[in-house]
Amino acid sequence: MSYLVLARKWRPRTFDELVGQDHVRRALTNALDSGRIHHAFLFTGTRGVGKTTIARIFAKSLNCEKGVSSTPCGQCPACVDIDAGRFVDLLEVDAASRTKVDDTRELLDNVQYSPARGRYKVYLIDEVHMLSTHSFNALLKTLEEPPPHVKFLLATTDPQKLPVTVLSRCLQFHLRRLPLPLIYDRLAQISAAEKVEFEPAALRAIARGADGSMRDALSLLDQVLAFGGGRAMEAEVRTLLGTLDRKHVQGILTALAGKDGAALMQQAAHLDERAPDYHQALGELSGAIQRMALLQALPDLPPGDDEEEDKLLAGLAAKFTAEDLQLLYQIAINSRRDLDYAPDARAGFEMALLRMLAFRPQGLPPAAPAGGGGAGIGRATVAARPAVAPSKPATVASPTAAESDWDALVASLGLQGTARHFAANCVLLERKAGLVRLRLDPAGDSFRRPQIEARLAEALSQHFGETIRLEITQAEAPGEIFTPARRDALAAEDRQRAAEESIDCDPAVRAMREVFGATVRPGSVKPLG
């Protein structure tokens, strides 16, 4: 006896057996039970979510010899023939192979004739978006006003390609991707019924690899059973799919937490022995990091699909800061996107791991160099400035605490125009009840006017919730005090100097100077940002 693949053997034959898509099932069962049945239905959604399955169940409900209802008997000749795919009044058409207008006209020539056996003649057109423009034009009139004994069931994975005139003549139902727990439960049910030995982690990996498609999940299960000799074990599934198992994930994250470059490269070497799909490997790693971030931020998060793995990831998450996990996640997903540009997939994967090891979020102190085998890779701060250092260091002293407080206060007052410039050229000397004492840099004297001082005093009064009086003294020399304006000027000089030195060091600019005697026009170099 020939083997029937699981996707066909376990295909739902009634609405009750249907997994997921409750919104579509409810609408169709209500229509069937109430007798309010439209003449054209359009089922959309990605592959393997049940479009043609629902259409066949609907056709069976229309033609069951027990009567039209949402619960066909499944035993009468009509139901049996529809399940077997030989019912003469159910015309299944693959639009991808019959795109010509002559094919459509030939199909529609028989619409006017009554059904040979059933109650309704049902046209099931799969991948209907593949029809040509002329084919759609030939279909439109019949689709709008078909004979009472005809029903159209259309299915497509790309509804955007359908003409609006077709969409407007159909009741449209969008079938969603199936969630992972639902696919896992169905796989477990089928595996038990088939008396298959399996590990829950193996079925979860299959469900994750199916990407929302029940048909893909059953096809993968068939493939795994063939590969594993009738068993579904986690190690064999991950080998077949080319994904990371929990041991590799744990090893990589442990090496990152310990800043151990040698151990990290050893994990990459062990992984390469399994000939993985590095796109999927980075996807598995980013998924684990995302789960760690959730478990770290929300300790009371309800348990996920795999409680044992959650415990493992929660323990690893404790070894990272929240900022570390955010950066690791960004590196993982960006590296996955850029993997096609790497010299080879393994090199791209290793560079992603090295970036995770080498960088940490800005503002955190750099950690000590990595140990364990002398990998020589430390953790460096992610800099916000260009890599070129300024040629002359700033000679102004670091701001005092009071000056830093005034800097933040000016930014929060919401001042505009001249008042903002005036405040930015001051520093805070003292604040006590009803009084704020400031020192003004001579560079800001041109902004000092009574109305400007009054505006600053009013803004400070609103900020502190009391009437503020200002006392302002002037510094003797420009640059004597570190004002917000002085800080901004130094930062601008720093950026400009770095931009000019970066241009001077650029190999292309050097080559143009040497070959063509080119020069950089003064004032033409501007820093980014």
DSSP output for 192-249: HHTT-EE-HHHHHHHHHHHTT-HHHHHHHHHHHHHHTTSEE-HHHHHHHHT---HHHH
Which of 81-90, 114-123, 373-382 is predicted with the least confidence, judged by mean pLDDT? Answer: 373-382
CA 366 from centre of chain: 30
Q: pLDDT tens digits for 60-95?
A: 999 999 999 999 998 999 999 999 889 999 999 888
The pLDDT of residue 502 is 82
Q: pLDDT tens digits for 453-480?
A: 999 999 999 888 889 999 999 888 887 7
Q: Which domains does the chain have, with CATH numbers?
A: 6-174 (3.40.50.300), 180-241 (1.10.8.60), 246-381 (1.20.272.10), 398-529 (3.30.300.150)
Count of CB atoms situated within 10 Å of the CB of 394? 13
**Rounded to whole angstroms, how far apart are CA atoms 192 and 486?**
74
Helix (H, G, I), strand (E, B) or coil at 118: coil
Q: pLDDT tens digits for 189-214?
A: 999 999 999 988 889 889 988 888 99
Residue 372: is its pLDDT beyond 50? no
Place of tokens 């990998």: 375
Place of tokens 């999940």: 217
Residue 379: is its pLDDT beyond 60? no
**Rounded to whole angstroms, how far apart are CA atoms 515 and 507?**
12
Q: Indicate the pairing of strand 197-198 with strand 231-232.
A: parallel
Q: pLDDT tens digits for 131-148?
A: 888 888 888 888 888 899
**Rounded to whole angstroms, how far apart are CA atoms 374 and 423?**
53
pLDDT band at 289 (very low <50, low <70, confident <90, very high): very high
Q: Is the pTM of this model over 0.85?
A: no
- State the helix-helix crossing angle for 322-338 and 278-297, rounded to 10 degrees: 160
Residues 6+ apart with CB under 8 A from 22: none
What number is the average pLDDT over the span 506-525? 77
